[in-house]
Amino acid sequence: ETGVTQTPRHLVMGMTNKKSLKCEQHLGHNAMYWYKQSAKKPLELMFVYSLEERVENNSVPSRFSPECPNSSHLFLHLHTLQPEDSALYLCASSQDGPSTNEKLFFGSGTQLSVL
Amino acid sequence: DAKTTQPNSMESNEEEPVHLPCNHSTISGTDYIHWYRQLPSQGPEYVIHGLTSNVNNRMASLAIAEDRKSSTLILHRATLRDAAVYYCIQGSGAGSYQLTFGKGTKLSVIP
């Protein structure tokens, strides 16, 4: 148990659906992240929030829309996805930032399949 | 792109030490070296990190070369639960969140 909880663990959606991934951290951290892990590819950083403000957006398509209503919750809203978006989506948090001296705490991820 | 180079895979016998190497030749003076591992069906897990000096914790030891262009993660006694993909990551400097993961080293532990 890392203190970072992601729901759902698995999600299957059609290309015309709208769904949301949820992440909650119980660690009192100030920064939260979304990563994407495709099969046989390294983890890719998608979005970073620090104190509920987005501080990094790594050229992610607009069909992915993040939301951070407070420092404990992070959402990733999905709409009109493509089959190539099928991947493991990981949420992480860290105490403070920005700094690469920070430890990241990851959730177990949501395995997304787009049909 | 990842700034580190690691072997794709390694094997170890159970209860023997494991030395996982990593090259980070472009590292700057303020870049930390991080190690994470990812077990099957889980998110990555922090292992250890350091800047210049060797570091020890309950999970592992990190040996950093004097020129900081390479480092070695040391698992003192491998167990079957240590079988995972191990990522060596070079932090990209203060003011950035970019911990860029590479492909890592897949460690297999043989009973």
Instruction: In whole angstroms, give the CA distance from residue B33 to residue B52.
Output: 9
Enumerate residues 6+ apart whose C-beta is below 8 A from A15: A80, A81, A82, A83, A114, A115
B92 CB within 8 Å of a chain A CB: yes
A1 CB within 8 Å of a chain B CB: no
What's the pLDDT tens digit per position in A28-76? 999 999 999 998 788 998 999 988 888 877 789 999 999 999 999 999 9
Cα of B73 to nearest chain A Cα, Å = 17
Res A49: pLDDT: 92
Cα of A15 to nearest chain B Cα, Å = 25
Comparing CB atoms, the residue among B43, B49, B103 nearest residue A108 is: B43
Comparing CB atoms, the residue among B2, B45, B98 nearest residue A42 is: B2
Chain A residues with CB-CB distance to B41 below 8 A: 108
Chain B residues with CB-CB distance to A92 below 8 A: 43-44
CA angle centred on A52, ends A114 and A7, rounded to 5° = 35
What's the pLDDT tens digit per position in B8-40? 999 999 999 999 999 998 888 888 899 999 998
